[in-house]
Amino acid sequence: MIGRRRGASTTKDQILEAARHAFAERGFDKTTVREIAAMAGVDPAMINHHFGNKEQLFLAALDAPVDPRLYVEQVLTGSREDIGERLLQTMLTVWDSPVGTAGVTLMRTGLQHEWGAKLLREFLLNRILAPVMRELHLPEPEARWRSTLLASQVAGLIITRYVLKLEPLASAPRQDLVAAIAPTLQRYLTGPIPPPAL
């Protein structure tokens, strides 16, 4: 029986391991393809060959079920006054689909391993919430504060509905969750909130 070439699989695994380490330590923006290639002991062209680009490598390292760029645009399309509702509606649509099963695995990995937590944090804050915050044109410290408040609500909802499956939240209709939670997301995004006492 002929199997896959061991060398190709090993190279890909080396790249993924190096990428997980680099992204966890330095974040997406500060990590370069050349740096990952050097850590993996491969030519940078091998990263392009196996993954296409840095964004795709990050998603593979995270084992992310979806590319967030596919959904961020629909969150940003429309009025600033109901961006919280669009964000929640989009999130629930994705998590209630078959993709949600892979999302639960991603969340569990992030909660079990330090490197997973770092990658998950990078994914949530910088790949999903940062583009939303940029659209609101907020000063950096305020954007960071609001995005972490928003992340606390979103992550909490994901854990309680999809991981722990707490009832009646787990089986509540989407429109009920949007009605109950979207105003809080909207306040975190655009409403008055006290600054952190640092």
**Structurally, how many domains does the chain consist of?**
2
Judge whether residue 192 has pLDDT over 90. yes
| Minimum mean pLDDT range among 38-42, 89-93, 119-123, 166-170 | 119-123
Mean pLDDT, rounded, for 157-162: 94
Is the residue at 113 inside a domain?
Answer: yes
Per-residue pLDDT, averaged over 90-102, amounts to 85
Are 159 and 177 found together in one domain?
Answer: yes
For 177, list phi and psi in degrees, rounded to 5: -65, -40
Residue 72 lies in a domain: yes
Say which CATH number the domain at 53 has: 1.10.10.60
R_g over Cα of the chain: 19
Give the pLDDT mean for 68-77. Answer: 83
Residues 185 and 104 in one domain: yes
Q: Which domain holds residue 118?
A: 68-190
Q: Give the global pTM.
A: 0.73
Confidence of residue 7 (pLDDT cuts 50, 70, 90): very low
Q: Domain check: are 85 and 47 in the same one?
A: no
As given in the structure block, the two tokens for residue 59 are 């998603």
**3-class secondary structure, 32:** coil
Residues 111 and 134 in one domain: yes
SS3 89: helix
Name which of 156, 186, 196 is nearest 83 in CA terms.
Answer: 186
